[in-house]
């Protein structure tokens, strides 16, 4: 879902395949990862898969953390391509243990992801229209406070099926939010408004 303002700002909201796949593999394999922003466990949770846990080595966990950080950066030139499989930039640094984990769990991850994506799409489609255009409303309110149009900005909102009412800004123009936070209009607005205000100020 994308939003376009009267100025050159753009915002997009999605449940990204690459991030979802990485989180599934983390939880299903029981990887003990260390990242700058700790993302809660998936909700509903996935069971530990003994077949994947065989590949949950310390090296795989270190490589997963690097892979995750790379996935948070925008890659518009390969939009729509499964990043795990085809992106040579991201794949180059994947160690053997992590590659084997991805190969072993990729199909199961996509089956799981398909159901989560379907649920998310239904939530967005059947939600109140005012909720679906909340980003536009927030940006217009910020513009009114500033007394001018927003400076050009790009904002990417990644909605993740993780536990709790949770959100983190992981890049200047990229925020991760849980489905529960996104579904709570008041809480989501309180989270995203300062992000938009900073971006709009330029």
DSSP collapsed to 3 states, 159-191: EECECCCCEEEEECCEEEEEHHHHHCHHHHHHH
- The pTM for the full model equals 0.86
163 by Cβ neighbours in 10 Å (0-12 / 13-18 / 19+) ranks as: middle
CB atoms within 10 A of CB 22: 23
pLDDT string in tens for the chain (202-residue length): 555 555 589 998 889 988 999 999 999 999 999 998 899 999 999 999 999 999 999 999 999 998 899 889 876 544 443 444 444 444 556 778 998 999 899 999 999 998 888 887 777 776 655 556 888 889 999 999 999 999 999 999 999 999 999 999 999 999 999 999 998 989 999 999 999 999 999 8
Of residues 196, 157, 158, 166, the one with CA closest to residue 184? 166
């Amino acid at each position: 879902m994308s939003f376009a303002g009267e100025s050159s700002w753009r915002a997009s909201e999605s449940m990204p395949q690459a991030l979802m796949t990485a989180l599934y593999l983390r939880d299903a394999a029981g990887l003990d990862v260390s990242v700058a922003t700790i993302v809660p466990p998936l909700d509903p949770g996935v069971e530990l898969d003994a077949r994947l846990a065989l590949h949950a080595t310390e090296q795989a966990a270190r490589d997963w953390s690097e892979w995750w950080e790379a996935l948070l950066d925008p890659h518009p030139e390969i939009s729509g391509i499964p990043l795990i499989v085809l992106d040579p930039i991201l794949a180059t640094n994947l160690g053997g243990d992590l590659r084997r984990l991805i190969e072993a769990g990729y199909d199961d991850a996509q089956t799981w992801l398909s159901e989560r994506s379907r649920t998310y799409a239904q939530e967005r489609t059947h939600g109140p229209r005012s909720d679906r255009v909340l980003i536009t409303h927030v940006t217009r309110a910020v513009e009114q406070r500033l007394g001018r149009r927003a400076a050009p900005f790009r904002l990417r909102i990644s909605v993740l099926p993780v536990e709790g009412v949770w959100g983190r800004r992981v890049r200047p123009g990229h925020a991760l939010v849980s489905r529960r936070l996104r579904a709570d209009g008041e809480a989501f607005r309180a989270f995203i408004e300062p992000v938009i205000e900073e971006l709009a100020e330029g």
